[in-house]
């Protein structure tokens, strides 16, 4: 029984560590040589261009996935913050005053609860933003990645640049997406 558990656990660990993207394009030795050539001509130039285009396509695929996932996350987080704000708004500015005007003494505990929820919603949204878990923070990361990738892809797509420069720029663009900055957020100190 213990051997089966260990076997299942091992399979799960190996599956979790397996690469997610098996569509990696590997360049042939001929493409690498052509890309590294100082001034490729004729067939060698076409081979170099083929290698560069593979690198550009791979960068586009990786970056589209990373930016797309981040955009989805940004939308979810923005929606969550909106609902927290609306819940606080309704609690503090509609429900609590209605209860107050109906019968303040009888509804005192409810008034306190809904008034507190209104204030807590604001604090919760502020804390979420300060911790870096808001849609706005995700949008900043998306824009930062996009700006860096665009500058690299401008080089990669410019056919007047050398094959080596274009290839290197495409690889750097892909790396910007794979290894985009993972920020460590800290709560701001109270003023």
190 within some domain: no
94 within some domain: yes
171 within some domain: yes
186 within some domain: no
> Of the candidates 132, 178, 131, 174, which has an alpha carbon nearest to the alpha carbon of residue 152?
174
Q: How far apart are CA 163 and CA 47, in angstroms?
A: 10
23 within some domain: no
> Of the candidates 182, 173, 168, 170, which has an alpha carbon nearest to the alpha carbon of residue 149?
173
Question: Any residues with CB less than 8 A from the CB of 9 and at least 6 apart, and which?
Answer: none
The DSSP letter of residue 104 is T
- Please count the structural domains in the chain: 1
Convert the pLDDT of each residue in 31-89 to its tens digit: 888 888 877 788 888 898 899 999 999 999 999 999 999 899 889 998 898 999 999 99
- The total of other beta-carbon atoms located within 10 Å of residue 33's CB is 15
118 within some domain: yes
* CA-based radius of gyration for the chain: 27
Convert the pLDDT of each residue in 137-168 to its tens digit: 888 889 999 999 999 999 999 999 999 999 99
pTM over 0.75: no
Answer yes or no: is pLDDT of 20 > 50.
Answer: no
185 within some domain: no
| Residue 155 domain boundaries | 35-178
13 within some domain: no
């Amino acid at each position: 029984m213990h051997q089966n558990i260990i076997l299942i656990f091992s399979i799960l660990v190996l599956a979790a560590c397996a690469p997610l993207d098996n569509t990696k394009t590997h360049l042939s030795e001929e493409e690498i040589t052509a890309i590294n050539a100082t001034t490729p001509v004729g067939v060698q130039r076409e081979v170099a261009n083929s290698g560069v285009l593979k690198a550009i396509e791979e960068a586009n695929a990786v970056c589209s996935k990373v930016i797309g996932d981040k955009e989805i996350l940004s939308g979810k987080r923005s929606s969550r913050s909106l609902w927290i704000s609306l819940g606080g708004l309704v609690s503090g500015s509609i429900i609590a005053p209605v209860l107050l005007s109906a019968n303040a003494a009888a509804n005192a505990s409810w008034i306190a609860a809904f008034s507190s929820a209104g204030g807590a919603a604001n604090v919760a949204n502020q804390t979420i933003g300060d911790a870096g878990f808001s849609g706005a923070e995700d949008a900043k990361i998306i824009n930062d990645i996009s700006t860096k990738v665009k500058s690299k892809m401008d080089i990669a797509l410019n056919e007047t640049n050398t094959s080596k420069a274009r290839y290197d720029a495409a690889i750097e663009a892909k790396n910007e997406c794979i290894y985009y900055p993972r920020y460590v957020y800290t709560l701001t100190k109270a003023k």
